[in-house]
Amino acid sequence: MSKSTISDVVTKGDIQGPSSSTKSSSHEYNSDSQSTELVQGKSKRSWRSYVWDTLDKSPEERRFLFKLDAMILTLAFLGYFIKYLDQVNITNAFVSGMKEDLKLFSNELNYMQTCWTVGYVIGEIPSNLLLTRIRPSIWIPACEVLWAILTILLAKCKTTTQVYVLRFFIGLAESVFYPGMQYIIGSWYRRDELAKRYCIFHASGAIAGVGGFKGWQWLFIIDTVISLPIAISGFFLMPDLPEITKAWYFSADEIALAKERMRLEGRATRASYTKAKFKKIFSSWHIYLLTALYIFFNNGNGASGQPAFQLWLSQRDTPLPRSTPIRPLRLPSP
C-alpha cells in the first residue's frame, strides 16, 4: 500500500479539510502545516457512526480497527476486571473469615487499604514514564505476572505485617496497568473513537465483586487463577505503540495505516524528557484539577474505595443468608 493510498484510506469519508489539497488521494504528508490543516478539518459523520464509529470508515480501516479492538479492549477489559475484583475481595476476605483467623480489627483493614494505596500512588508516574522506554508488551504483562504471584501469596499470610507488606507491593505492581492501558488506548485511537473504548474499558469494573465467595483464602487463589492467563497473553497480544509495534496480527500496510491515523491527529511521537517538559507538566492546572476530581470519584466508588456496606453487613445482629449479594447495581455504599 503506497503512502498516497494510505492517506486516501484514512481520509475517505472521514476528514474534510479546509482546502482542496485534502481531497487529493495523492496528497503527501511531508509538512507539519499540512498535517495540522487536516486535523482541524471538520469530520463528515453519518448517524451510523454515533452507534459505532467504524461504520463510517473504509473497509481497510474497519478491518484494522476490528483487530485493534479485539486485542487491546480484550486485554484492558479482563485486566481491569481482575484488578477491581482484587480491590473488592480484600474487604470480602475480611468479613469472610480473615478477620478471625488473623485476629484483625477494623482499623487494620484500613491499614491494609492504605498500604495498597501508598504503593499504587508511588508507582503510577514512574511506571508510565518507563512505558515510553520499555515495550508495553513486556513491561505491563511482566508486572501482571508479578501481581498474580503476590496476590496468591496473600492466601498464605499468617500475620498482619505480612499482609501489609504484600498489599504495598501488590499496589506497586498494579499501578502499571490502569494508567498504562490509558496510554496504550490513547496511542492507537483517534479522537472520535476514544470515548466508546474508554467506556468499554471502565465497564469491566461494574461486573466485578457481584456475589460472594465462602472462604477468604479462595478469593485470592481465584484472582490468581484468572489473572495469570490474562497476564501471559499480554506478552503475545499487546501491540505496543504504532511507531514501534511488532504485533504479529498486523500487516505492514496496517501498521502504516496506524501511523497515518495518528499523524492526522497531530499525535506527537516519543521524545526525550527534559527539564522544560517536566516544568510544563507540573505547572499545568489540568494535573491538579484531575487529581482532585479522581480523589472524589475514588472515595465514592463503593466497594473498592470505601467498603462500608460489607462491614455493616458483617456487624449486623440479624441473621443473614449464607450468601449476600453486594452492590449488584454498582451503587455508592451508604
pLDDT digits (tens, 9 = 90+) for 191-231: 888 888 888 887 766 554 444 444 455 566 666 777 778 78
User: Is 231:141 a contact under the CB 8 Å cutoff?
Assistant: yes
Domains of the chain, by residue range, sit at: 3-51, 60-240
Backbone phi and psi for residue 239, each to the nearest 5 degrees, phi listed first = -85, 5
What is the tens place of the pLDDT at every residue in 123-145?
988 988 888 888 888 999 999 88
Q: What average pLDDT does this structure show over 45-55?
A: 72
Q: What is the torsional sign of CA 304, 316, 107, 164?
A: negative
Q: In the structure, what pLDDT confidence band is assigned to residue 311 with cuts at 50, 70 and 90?
A: low
What is the tens place of the pLDDT at every residue in 237-274?
888 888 888 888 888 888 888 888 888 887 777 777 78
**Share of residues in the chain with pLDDT > 70 (%):** 67
Provide the 10 A C-beta neighbour count for residue 327: 17
Q: What pLDDT score does 327 carry?
A: 45
Whether pLDDT at 33 is above 50: no
Between 185 and 324, the more confident residue is: 185
- Considering the segment(s) 60-240 as one domain, its CATH architecture is Up-down Bundle (1.20)
Backbone phi and psi for residue 318, each to the nearest 5 degrees, phi listed first = -70, 130
C-alpha cell at 153: 501469596
Whether the model clears a pTM of 0.95, i.e. scores above it, the answer is: no
User: Is 273:168 a contact under the CB 8 Å cutoff?
Assistant: no
